[in-house]
Structure 1
Amino acid sequence: MESIYFNVENRKQLNRQWETIEPALLLPLSPSKQRTDFPLKGKIIESVIETKSREIVAMAGVSLKCGDCGALLKSVEEAQEHAEITSHSNFAESTEAVLNLVCTTCSKPCRSKTECDLHTKRTGHTEFVDKTLETVKPISLEAPKVAMETDKPDDSSGSGESAEEMVVPEVDKNILEELEAMGFPKARATRALHYSGNASLEAAVNWVVEHENDPDVDEMPKVPANSNVGPAKPALSPEEVKIKAQELRERARKKKEEEEKRMEREREKERIRIGKELLEAKRMEEENERKRIMFLRKAEKEEEKRAREKIRQKLEEDKAERRRKLGLPPEDPTTATAKPSVPVVEEKKVTLPIRPATKTEQMRECLRSLKQTHKEDDAKVKRAFQTLLTYMGNVAKNPDEEKFRKIRLSNQTFQDRVGSLRGGIEFMELCGFEKIEGGEFLFLPRDKIDTAIINSAGTELNSAINNPFFGVL
């Protein structure tokens, strides 16, 4: 409770209030009881003083009230902040005190019942104590003084210009020299040490890296002369400076290596992704090409079938016309269809002698595998097929000549044309050739020559050479 000054009139009024107090509370002022009535009388006086103080405070302005929104503010500073936020300018002095409701649990002050309700919803605290009268005081309408005035020296005889004098801040000279030795300009090194708190060489270098794009990075920093900024830490010895510099270089090197490794991983991932995309594109292209070839083959077969049917119908019409001119009766359709089939069957039997079907299939598969394995070099494959056909033709024409039945494997011409291709020697072994003399020669014995197999080999080789679709599927 602040002390309150009472003038003479206030004292007279207090005496009159004292005389109106209930007589039962007053004790007789006898010599024996002179001291016993003072405590009770003192309490009554204290109560009256507190009541009077409340009345006096109520008569003075204790807050500023916003005329636009009705908010109560404790000081001129709060009114200025309220005006900046809300643009309200209608303020008046008010005798209504700003509420100070303090939470008994967490001691948070609230200025209104609404704030109390919000605090209760957030925290669950429901008990508040009204301490408005303990903190209320008359409001001062004076504008706040500038904070810089408190920083002025007490010596009024000093000049005012000395407080505004700007000088270069003091920094650690050893670290400054080390930074200059590393190639940093003096102004930049001084600025880095000043703003990094003279902590260490590492902190200064980090500051330079972070602020290298600042427009004033190479300007010498200036501070007030009385700020007395000094180095925050003791200077490092030359050995410590070297160790710090080495650590910085090592850290930068490791960081660079990690970045390079990360970039290498990213490049590898990108290379793998591109490779997969290329493989998928190639597979799709091959699939589309295969479908296109199948479609063309099917179309060619259908066209050939239609042409054959058209020719057959034309022959039938010509035959019927000749019979009509000769006066012969028309040919029975059943007989006409049966007769052509007999020569065809006989012709097949003559042109295709008896041959083992399994050998033929194996030879066809061997030739198909050879072409698939070397499909990127079609000319080389075709030359191998022609060479094999020549070998088979020589054996079929001159089965008694050993020079056509014996081939040196190390022969350069044979290796270039057949031996170096996967499947070439296997095809000749299917035709009856055998390796002799430790694998130096391929030899076909005279008693093992099978004319049917040799002819089948020639037929398959002719098909492989002349059929553009051989080995595609």
Structure 2
Amino acid sequence: MAGVSLKCGDCGALLKSVEEAQEHAELTSHSNFSESTEPVLNLLCTACSKPCRSKTESDLHTKRTGHTEFIDKTSEATKPISLEVPKVGATAEGAVTATTNQDEEMVVPEVDKKILEELESMGFSTARATRALHYSGNAGLEASVTWIVEHENDPDIDQMPLIPANTKVEAPKPSLTPEELRAKQQELRERARKKKEEEEKRTEREREKERIRIGKELLEAKRIEEDNERKRILALRKAEKEEERRAREKIKQKLEEDKAERRRKLGLPPEEPSVAKPAPVVEEKKSFLPVRPATKAEQMRECLRSLKQNHKEDDARVKRAFQTLLTYVGNVARNPDEEKFRKIRLTNQSFQERVGALKGGIEFLEICGFEKIDGGEFLFLPRNKVDIAVLNSSGSELDSAIKNPFFGIL
């Protein structure tokens, strides 16, 4: 079957002639065309005689104008396509004659002259205004302007529309009187105002939903924060109770030891054999065993408690001393090979103000492993005596002493 159209291989558009293919190529830069046996549709609107070249174009026309009836004249207009390139010297009139040389005579459709003049006064060309009025069904100035805006990129927007001479065209609708025009403008403004109000209400609803969502997220975050705070307080109270229990046990043990010592000095026998054994024997055995982190931790806790008791009138200074000690042991724990972190000058003014002048500060460092050297001028922790477990234990005790508000009360 002979080809009846040219098909663009880039976008699939069907074109009636080589001229249309050239115009399509200039507008889109597409260059892949091939001869096709698929004809270009010629759907003629029965209401306004607008020809539609595809089903999509007829659907758009129906959507814009409401016209739904079309006459399929594809078979009448389909002819084998000529692949000859038109001559360069051909005039526009010759091209029109070649493309419209059919049995039917093509004429310019009748449109509302008054609306046409109004469109021309707005700056639109006669061809563009005539095309807009014709394809909008002479629906009025607003419909024509809308059609022009929607089709301003059409390649034939400035070509005068042509329809078969024997096509029945609906009589153009009379143009609006000034009063009707003002009423129409007022209606359009009212419609635009209502649309704007609806859009603002919709936007406000979206904003309100967003505010509610953010509020819920903030409430949930606050609830989680409060739960975490309650857990922290419960853990702190538990630690305080444990601290009090250990303090009471230690006081009780000290009282039992004092009582046993008094009975011994008076030459009295112990009240119970089970009570007489533990204190001295256990302490004596501990002195021969290697120092374990647990024992060191107890010594550190007692040292820190003593430091706080000795300077309880200046809580800020005690807290600063605890923080300074935590910095010293933390630096050594993180950098055990750095000698500068393992050596402290006792005469350093900052050290003296923060730690050295407080009773118990230097003792705490000595429990951690620091030793006095050079006649007591420096505190030094030898590399081979660095015990990470002891340093971690000291850090935990210092952290507890800083954060626990009841530390050292008993």
TM-score normalized by the length of structure 1: 0.32
Structure number with greater CO (CA < 8 Å, separation at least 6) is 2
Larger Rg: 1
TM-score normalized by the length of structure 2: 0.36
